Amino acid sequence: MCYKILILALLAIVGLINANIYLEEKFENENWDDTWIYSKHPGKEFGKFTHTAGSFFNDAEADKGIQTSQDARFYAVSKQFDAFSNEDKPLVVQFSVKHEQNIDCGGGYVKLFDCSLDQTDMHGESPYEIMFGPDICGPGTKKVHVIFSYKGKNHLINKDVRCKDDVYTHFYTLIVRPDNTYEVLIDNEKVESGNLEDDWDFLAPKKIKDPNAKKPEDWDDKPTIPDPDDKKPEDWDKPEHVPDPDATKPEDWDDEMDGEWEPPMVDNPEYKGEWQPKQLDNPNYKGAWEHPEIDNPEYVPDNKLYLRNEICKLGFDLWQVKSGTIFDNVLITDDIELAHNAAAEVKNTQAGEKKMKELQDEVQRKKDEEEAKKISDKDDDEEDDDDDEKDESKQDKDLNDHDEL
């Protein structure tokens, strides 16, 4: 038994040794921006990140990240690391997002770049390899972007991946495998998965409609036909509207002045609409004609859709209307289990955040009640003063009236 435990422990150690961590950033100290570079791209009004755990948290130190701090700003900051390729290895991109401002419109994603990026000029049009993470704007846009660059063009996922829209910390994880499969996880729970070729339009379709095929002229695709023996009843045709039988000519109606009086029209209860013959099953019905397909000569398979030949920079390139998002726990690795373990504490983090926020909300609620009571009491006092002034004015008037007598 002890021998088996020892073997398992050794295997775990070997796994850790073989694991590659290309980037790990927990923003543990306030000098984080010594290794991150702000963009200075002209024509953009950029905001600054602050180092903080936010207004509610589970651990005041461990939960510190970088927070957007100015409303209606672009944010562009990036970090370089040793270049790598994910050839024949999994690629895992993971980070945490906390929209504690209850974001109304803004991005919460990261971009991975090759080494050609000029970090001081990073902007929305800078070419990237992968864009991944949540994006929220109003009730209509609450999705997780998963975008890959392929042959110079950005390709969006064909599925709608829903993101979290509350105010607590959430881990977003993208796993891309060498077999061209992928997974998207939120808080270590799989929310989407599939095959890269199926869920992105990287390649031309395998099949196309045969351009030489045409529907035969005698192809009957009508499931029913009118009954040739069905005849319209003789009393079918009735007008849709008839004069109101209960209407009477007004007494003051002058035919010479007002013209000939006509009763208003009302719906005819006997109107049956346009007559249609009964339908019968069509004996010649062949079903819906399907255009035959052929192999697409432009389709070229690619078993390396997953491959990123060079990645060496990660950036936050965002626009936010309402600031306050905190980014943290950035991890790029080829070790899926390592990433899973790194996100495993998210439930505890969320529980601590919720507990603290609920206490803050309760304090605020009581404060608001006290303020409302003060305003109400002040209004009551002012009403009493008005009543006293009215009484004094009435007494003065009575005295003046008495003196005149």
**CATH numbers and ranges of domains, the chain:** 21-197+304-358 (2.60.120.200)
Burial of 208 per CB tally in 10 Å (0-12, 13-18, 19+): middle
* 336 residue type, one letter: I
Name every residue whose Cβ is closer than 8 Å to that of residue 250 and which is 6 or more positions away in sequence. Answer: 261
317 known member of a binding site: yes
Residue 135 in marked binding region: yes
pLDDT digits (tens, 9 = 90+) for 233-282: 988 999 999 999 999 989 888 888 889 989 999 999 989 899 999 999 99
Q: Which positions ≥6 away from 311 have C-beta within 8 Å?
A: 22, 83, 84, 85, 86, 112, 113, 114, 129, 130, 332
Supply 93's token pair.
Answer: 């991109």
Tell me the torsion sign for CA atoms 342, 343, 346, 347. Answer: negative
Contact 137, 105 (CB under 8 A): yes
Question: What is the reported pTM?
Answer: 0.78
Residues 6 or more apart whose Cβ sits within 8 Å of residue 339: 92, 94, 173, 175, 331, 333
**CA 123 to the chain's CA centroid:** 22
What's the pLDDT band for 398 if we cut at 50, 70, 90?
low
Taking residues 271-295, what's their average pLDDT? 93
Q: Determine phi and psi for 95, rounding to 5 degrees.
A: -165, 165
What SS3 state is found at 361? Answer: helix
Q: What is the mean pLDDT of residues 284-304?
A: 95
Contact 210, 293 (CB under 8 A): yes
High-pLDDT (> 70) share of the chain, %: 89
Residue 66 pLDDT: 98
Reference 318, options 126, 174, 51, 148; nearest CA is 126
> What is the average pLDDT score of the chain?
91
pLDDT digits (tens, 9 = 90+) for 8-46: 444 444 444 679 999 999 999 999 999 999 999 999 999
- pLDDT at residue 403 is higher than 70: no
Q: Which pLDDT does position 14 carry in this prediction?
A: 45
* CB-based burial label for 177 (10 Å; 0-12, 13-18, 19+): middle
Asked whether residue 128 is marked as a ligand-binding residue, the answer is yes
- Give residue-wise pLDDT tens across range 297-310: 999 999 999 999 99
What contacts 254, CB < 8 A, 6 or more positions away?
Answer: none
* Beta bridge partners of residue 155, listed in sequence order: 148
Q: Where are the beta strands (DSSP E) in 18-152?
A: 21-25, 36-38, 49-52, 65-68, 73-84, 91-99, 105-107, 110-113, 130-137, 141-150
The region, left, alpha or beta by phi > 0 then psi within -120 to 50, assigned to residue 151 is left
The residue-averaged pLDDT of 320-324 equals 97
Q: What are the tens digits of pLDDT across the range 154-194?
A: 999 999 999 999 999 999 999 999 999 999 999 999 999 99
pLDDT digits (tens, 9 = 90+) for 39-91: 999 999 999 999 999 999 999 999 999 999 999 999 999 999 999 999 999 99
* 220 — pLDDT class (breaks 50, 70, 90): very high
pLDDT at residue number 387: 65
Residue 137 neighbours by CB distance under 10 Å: 15
111 is in an annotated binding site: yes
Does residue 77 contact residue 315 with C-beta atoms inside 8 Å? yes
